[in-house]
Amino acid sequence: GYCFLTDWHWNIKRQLGEENLPNSFIQYLFEILGISIAPAATDLITLIAFLFAIGMSVYYNFIKKL
């Protein structure tokens, strides 16, 4: 997905001379932490975490309330 904050961040980093930035901020965080992982795996991990968070939110806010 597109995040305007990441786009803004990347524009600033490019103006400061940084090159070869990844397409994903999560991938960038993994690189900073020294974790070598394929971009496709990063996207999958991000998707799973996102779906888990949505599922938990729906469960705790709508289903468990009943």
- List the chain pLDDT tens, one digit each, 66 residues: 788 999 999 999 999 999 999 989 999 999 999 999 999 999 999 999 999 999 999 999 998 876
User: Do the Cβ atoms of 6 and 25 come closer than 8 Å?
Assistant: yes
Q: Alpha-carbon distance 53 to 49, whole Å?
A: 6
pLDDT for 64 equals 85
Token pair, residue 66, equals 């009943």
**For the whole model, what pTM was predicted?**
0.76
Q: Residue 22 has what pLDDT?
A: 92
Across the chain, how many H-helices and E-strands are there? 3, 0
